[in-house]
Amino acid sequence: MRVLVFLILSIVAAPGHSQDASFWGARDTVLAHVPGTPKVRIGIWDSGVDTALFREHLARNAQGAPILRGYDAFKDRQDIPMALLPDSLATRSTELNQLLRALDDLDSGVESQQAAALKARHDSLPPAEQDRLYDAIDRYSGHVHGTAVADIALAGLADAEIVIARMEWWHGSPPVPCWSRELADKEAASIRDLLDFQMAQGVRVVVMSWGRAGRAYLKNLEECAPEMPDSARIALAQYTITRIRAELIAGMQAAPQVLFVGAAGNSGKSLDEADQATRFVLPNFLLVGAADRDGNDMEWSNTGKEVSLLGLGERVPARLPDGSLSYPSGTSMAAPYVANAAVKVLLVSPDMSGAALRDLLERTATVNAAGSRVLHVSKAIMALDRER
Rounded Cα distance, 193 and 195, in Å: 5
Instruction: Determine the Cα angle at 226 with ends 224 and 232, to 5°.
Output: 100
Confidence bin at 62 (pLDDT 50/70/90): very high
Instruction: Give me the pLDDT at residue 216, please.
Output: 95
Residue 32 pLDDT: 85
pTM attached to this predicted model: 0.94
Residues 169/73, Cβ–Cβ less than 8 Å: yes
The reported pLDDT for the residue numbered 388 is 66
pLDDT at 1: 28
Q: pLDDT of 114-138, one tens digit each?
A: 999 999 999 999 999 999 999 999 9
Over residues 328-344, the mean pLDDT reads 98
Q: For residue 198, report the phi and psi dihedrals to the nearest 5 degrees.
A: -65, -40
H helix and E strand count, the chain:
12, 13
Distance CA 382, CA 199 (A): 29
Average pLDDT over residues 148-174: 96
Neighbour count for residue 5 (Cβ, 10 Å): 14
pLDDT > 60? residue 21: no
- pLDDT over 70 percentage in the chain: 94
What pLDDT is recorded for position 191?
98
Percentage of the chain beyond pLDDT 90 is 89
The per-residue pLDDT of the chain, averaged, comes to 93
Backbone φ and ψ for 282, nearest 5 degrees, come out as -140, 155
DSSP 315-366: S--EE-TTS-EE---SHHHHHHHHHHHHHHHHHH-TT--HHHHHHHHHHTSE
Average pLDDT estimate for 45-56:
97
pLDDT confidence bin for 385, thresholds 50/70/90: confident
pLDDT band at residue 35 under the 50/70/90 scheme: confident
**pLDDT value at residue 20:** 52
Domain residue limits, the chain: 38-85+144-377
pLDDT (average), residues 27-46: 91
Assign 372 to helix, strand or coil: coil
Decide if pLDDT at 8 tops 80: no
State the Cα–Cα distance between residues 247 and 249, nearest whole angstrom: 6
Per-residue pLDDT band at 37 (split at 50, 70, 90)? confident
Q: For 12-21, 182-191, 249-258, which range has the lowest pLDDT when averaged over its residues?
A: 12-21
pLDDT of residue 36: 85
Give the pLDDT band of residue 260 (cuts 50, 70, 90).
very high
Give the model's confidence band at 33: pLDDT under 50 very low, under 70 low, under 90 confident, else very high: confident
Q: What's the CATH code, domain 38-85+144-377?
A: 3.40.50.200
